[in-house]
Amino acid sequence: MPIKPSAPPIQNTYIAEPFLKWAGGKRQLLEQIVAYLPVEVKRSQITRYIEPFMGGGALLFYLTQHFDVSEIFVCDINSELILVYQVVRDYVEKLIARLQEIEATYLALGEKERKSYYYAERARFNTNLATMDFFAFQPAWIERAAQFIFLNRTCFNGLYRVNSKGEFNVPAGRYKSPKICDVQNLTAVAAILKHVKIVRGDFMVCEDIVDQNTFVYFDPPYRPLNHTAKFTSYSKYTFDDTEQLRLSRFFRALDNKGASLMLSNSDPKNVDSKDNFFETLYANYRIERIFANRMINARASKRGPISELLIMNY
């Protein structure tokens, strides 16, 4: 799957940031992750960047604004997420206009009315799923992307979670003045995405374009730390231990192609010092621990610093 080289995005004084809240998002960890980037990336000796689990895109936006990356490829199996990124890239002005309408309507409502509005939009979002074509652009994409961003900015904890039918099922959050439409950031993100190949699909779809001049960053759904924290429903496809094993085999296959690789995941040793799941899967690779605040927990007392893993082949 060839990708056409393109010039890096124009550097602006405004720094684009993720426009979505995303479970496991790397915004708060960027400084630690950047410290472990391949030196070849920092020296502009690696010019192809691939991210097979798009998510919130924190590292993508950082790399494209700080280093010379001329070829960029991202993918995700989450059809809704990919649709949103494609709309931001190709139709940002129409998207902004619709988001501004939604924001004005929502912020003018009282707390009770906001809750009703949220659940009405969520129901409409789920009802329209059956008729949505995610593979060919249609005007309905604009409304879908706007709904997605609205729900993301106003739902509980900014989660994205779906049931087995792919229906969004996160309850409403309680925010006084949520920023639903950040015009400046969306515009800056769109400028970056103009230079990005965005593909819907499994993480292995990038295999043919990986070579020794490529840096690949894997940020898959994290392995749950315990049996009651099974949050892997970023799409209707479950990412369980079998998938983690398949990913580790793919990691080794790309290593054999000479690419520079980095992978993030949870650290099982936060709850079980004897759990060597990732040490076994990634034997002979470099494993470092970085620290993050636990952001997704209904109980504030359970949110605090925990370690996460960075696994590298360099």
Is it the case that residue 232 has pLDDT exceeding 60? no
Is it the case that residue 172 has pLDDT exceeding 50? yes
Three-class SS of 104-134: HHHHCCCHHHHHHHHHHHHHHHHHHHHHCCC
Pick the CATH number of 27-78+185-227+237-312 from 3.40.50.720, 3.40.50.150, 2.30.30.60, 3.65.10.10: 3.40.50.150
The pLDDT, as a whole number, for residue 238 is 80
Of residues 27 and 112, more confidence is placed in 112
Q: Could you report the per-residue pLDDT of 113-125, keeping only the tens digit for each? A: 999 999 999 999 9
The pLDDT, as a whole number, for residue 299 is 56
Q: Could you report the per-residue pLDDT of 72-84, keeping only the tens digit for each? A: 999 999 999 999 9
Average pLDDT of 97-102? 98
Lowest-pLDDT range of 6-10, 132-136, 178-182, 260-264? 6-10
Phi, psi of 142 (to 5 degrees): -60, -50
Percent of the chain with pLDDT over 90: 79
Determine the Cα–Cα distance for residues 189 and 178; give it in Å rounded to an integer. 19
The pLDDT, as a whole number, for residue 305 is 81
Q: Could you report the per-residue pLDDT of 1-16, keeping only the tens digit for each? A: 555 444 444 455 689 9
Q: DSSP letters of 204-258? A: GGGGGG--TTEEEEE-PPPPPSSTT-----SSSS---HHHHHHHHHHHHHHHHTT
User: Is 259 in contact with 210 (CB distance < 8 Å)?
Assistant: yes
The pLDDT, as a whole number, for residue 13 is 64
Is it the case that residue 160 has pLDDT exceeding 60? yes
Average pLDDT of 208-229? 88
Q: What residue spans define the domains of the chain?
A: 27-78+185-227+237-312, 80-184
Is it the case that residue 58 has pLDDT exceeding 70? yes
Of residues 11 and 100, more confidence is placed in 100
Confidence band (pLDDT; 50, 70, 90) for 36?
Answer: very high
Average pLDDT of 21-47? 92
271: number of Cβ within 10 Å? 13
Is it the case that residue 233 has pLDDT exceeding 60? no
Determine the Cα–Cα distance for residues 22 and 58; give it in Å rounded to an integer. 10
Average pLDDT of 171-198? 97
Determine the Cα–Cα distance for residues 75 and 198; give it in Å rounded to an integer. 6
**Unique residue bearing structure tokens 């206009």:** 97
Confidence band (pLDDT; 50, 70, 90) for 300?
Answer: low
Is it the case that residue 24 has pLDDT exceeding 90? no
CATH class given for the domain over 80-184: mainly alpha
Q: Do domains 27-78+185-227+237-312 and 80-184 have the same CATH topology?
A: no
Is it the case that residue 130 has pLDDT exceeding 50? yes
Q: Could you report the per-residue pLDDT of 235-267, keeping only the tens digit for each? A: 566 899 999 999 999 999 999 999 999 999 999
Average pLDDT of 141-146? 98
The pLDDT, as a whole number, for residue 235 is 52
Confidence band (pLDDT; 50, 70, 90) for 225?
Answer: confident
